[in-house]
Amino acid sequence: MTMQTTTTPQAPVAPAHGRLRPLGLHEVRITGGFWGDRQKVNGTATLEHIQSRLESEGWLGNFDRAADGTLPEGRRGREFSDSEVYKFLEGLAWEIGRTDDPALEARFRAVVARVTAAQEPDGYLNTRFGRPGQGARWSDLEWGHELYCLGHLFQAAVARVRTRPGADDGLLGIAVRAADLVCDEFGADGRDGICGHAEVEVGLAELSRATGDPRYLEQARLFVERHGRGTLRDIEWGRTYFQDDVPVREATSLRGHAVRANYFAAGAADVAVDTGDDDLLAALRRQWEHTVARRTYVTGGQGSHHQDEAFGEDWELPADRAYSETCAGVGSIMFAWRLLLAGGDPRQADLIERTLYNVVATSPAPDGRAFFYANTLHQRVPGVPADPAETSPRASSSLRAPWFEVSCCPPNVARTLASLDAYVATADDEGVQLHQYAPVSVRTTLADGRVIAFDVETDYPASGSIRVISRGDAASGAPWTLTLRVPAWAAGARLRVTPADGSPSDDREAAPGTAELRRQWRAGDVVELALPMTPRLTAADARIDAVRGCVVVERGPEVLALESVDVGVDADVADLALAPGATPVERDGRVWIDVVDRGGDGAGWPYVRAGEAPAEAASRSVPLVTYHEWAQRGPSTMRVWIPATT
């Protein structure tokens, strides 16, 4: 494994300013464990699966048809299908950066060649618009997704240039030509438009960072500021759907379509940071805080409506109709990560961890070839397995499906997993911050030029034991600060430093937030962080009506669930409630909880005089499943929130 140290991190996000500097793939490498296993499946099975589907669905073929002039006849897929190809390319680029796999490199170049051939001479690139028989360019900004697709193209090109600077595949050139066209068309003197699905903003901002061209950042800024002014036509669900209802500085919460809302906020954060716009950044922080406090599921998932894939009102978080789209989880990580880099607030890393374990890890099947698009917190009827040969028309599938008519989630998961190393740690002038816990090797250069290195050894979250072993490359021996995140749920965490020189170890409690260890690190110094992994019962704010009187069992960063296959063949989780006074216990590698049956025949008018006590029932112990592992044993019913009062 070769690691470079450059000033531009091999990472999806590289702000011009900010409290923390992200460490890229050349500086942090996940070496195994929970996420390493998933990256392996992603790099082999998932990326191949996605390409196979992009071919069989004809979404890659659309580019060939654009090149040979046979569009619009035979164009296949929805208006945003180009973007799946770009997300796939982005995932490939990160994976090539991680693995140097020549087969992936060849595959990448072959796909880029097909995309290249489809670009118009003036830089325009989209297989759905602009040709005779198609809608005119930019004629349907509300639903056409042209700029959205280009945003993903830009992110793919940035991934490539950051992992293979100077590569001659041509992807960066495609992106630059398209971006120039966008600036010509939508600049300050141009068309006063925005895209109905935010994404081009993050793409342009990052392309500006990667190329040094300030024009792209300015264009991103224009797009951000044009939101909320009725720039788009009204639609059935209102302009809230695409964040065109309220100017970004005046909004108090994320709202509307949950993926759009997070992508937009992430793009606005990029603009705020790189233009030094503290007011805008403060507005975004307030929106994030409000959204986390009132519009986020315990899994970290976001989006309460199936109808418009949107946030609900404050406190509207139904478990059974949770939409919690996988892509909204990815978008939430994008937004939170940018705020974390800008300000260093560990609560953003907390949310990222929660979302990674309970949304991103939930979507793919163990074989990496089927996915959840929506992530319900309560499955009332056993799902019907998807036909692997079919494309599921329904995003709200109750079992993982290999592909969807709208298939944004699989490549979004793939690009996230392939770049996950870049979300583990950051650096500042004082040292390095560890935000996520996984087995990693870290080697980076501090601002003063010192190269420092350490490894993390852990089987987290199986246990809460995290060992950081200094590799002592700081020749000068001058002190630097290692900052460890102590998750908000980890009250009672302990931290012990054992110097390599045999001097006494220092053992102390580490309060939730961050623990800073400033010392002259030497090779072999060991830091042990012990996070308490005792399963715990968690309740919701009383205003979250949907789960009133319920508890959820959590263990470390993982949310657990009650699944019918663990209860009995024909059991329905609707008939179970927490036994009075029950607490979760670990036994035989699983977490168990005592429940009581509280069924009844469920016949007759279900609204009865209040105050009638339920019949007493015998309790029994049932095992729970981690939420991200549910629905892997066939059709089942499942609930995350367990009734505690009946």
List interacting residues with its own copies (CB under 8 A).
234, 236-238, 289-290, 292-294, 296, 298, 305-307, 312-316, 318-321, 347, 350, 378, 380-381, 393-394, 488, 536-552, 574-575, 577, 598, 600, 602-612, 614, 641, 643-646
Report the nearest approach of its own copies to the CB of residue 313 (Å): 4
Q: Give least dist CB 253 to its own copies, A.
A: 11
Please name which of 213, 158, 224 lies closest in space to residue 186, comparing C-alpha atoms.
Answer: 224
Rounded Cα–Cα distance for residues 619 and 625 (Å):
19
178/622 with CB nearer its own copies = 622
Q: Could you tell me which residues come within 8 angstroms of residue 295 by beta carbon, excluding any fewer than 6 positions away? A: 253, 254, 302, 304, 311, 312, 314, 316, 317
Taking the complex as a whole, the smallest distance from the CB of residue 350 to its own copies amounts, in Å, to: 8
Is the CB of 185 or the CB of 289 nearer to its own copies? 289
Helix, strand or coil, per DSSP, at residue 115? helix
The CA dihedral of 238, 148, 315, 597, to the nearest 10 degrees, is 120
Residue number, 230 or 524, with CB nearest to its own copies: 230
The CA distance from 231 to 227, in Å, is 7
Neighbours of 462 (CB within 10 A): 12
Nearer residue to its own copies within complex by CB, 143 or 315: 315
Alpha helices in 100-236 (DSSP H): 102-118, 146-163, 171-186, 200-211, 214-226
Quote the least distance from Cβ 275 to its own copies, whole Å.
28
Minimum distance from CB of 213 to its own copies (Å)? 40
What whole-number distance in Å separates Cα of residue 270 and Cα of residue 248?
13
Of 40 and 548, nearer to its own copies (C-beta) is 548
Cα 208 to Cα 218: distance, rounded to the nearest angstrom: 9
Residue with smaller CB distance to its own copies, 276 or 568:
568
Sign of torsion, CA 446 448 451 454? negative
CB of 226 to its own copies, least distance (A): 23
Q: Which is nearer to its own copies, 70 or 645 (CB)?
A: 645
Cα angle for residues 185, 189, 193 (degrees, 5° grid): 55
Nearer to its own copies, 524 or 580 (CB): 580
CB of 229 to its own copies, least distance (A): 19
Separation CA 301–CA 558 (nearest Å) = 13
**Residue 296: CB minimum distance to its own copies, A:** 8
Helix (H) or strand (E) holding 444: strand 440-445
Q: Nearer to its own copies by C-beta: 65 or 354?
A: 354
Rounded least distance, CB 362 to its own copies, Å = 17
CB of 49 to its own copies, least distance (A): 24
Lookup result for tokens 């699989």:
410
508: left (phi over 0), alpha (psi -120 to 50) or beta: beta
In our burial notation (b when 16+ CB lie closer than 10 A, e otherwise), range 2-30 reads: ebeeeeebbbbbbbeebbbbbbbbbbbbb
- Nearest approach in angstroms of CB 345 to its own copies is 12
Q: Which residues of 616-633 are buried (b: 16+ CB within 10 A; e: fewer)?
A: eeebeebbbbbbbebbbe
Provide the Cα torsion 204, 208, 213, 219; round to 10°: 30
Taking the least distance from each CB to its own copies, the nearer of 51 and 253 is 253
User: Whole-angstrom Cα distance, residue 3 to residue 7?
Assistant: 13
Residue 461: asked if its preceding bond is cis (omega within 30°), the reply is yes
Nearer to its own copies, 172 or 596 (CB): 596
Helix or strand holding residue 620 (H, E): strand 619-623
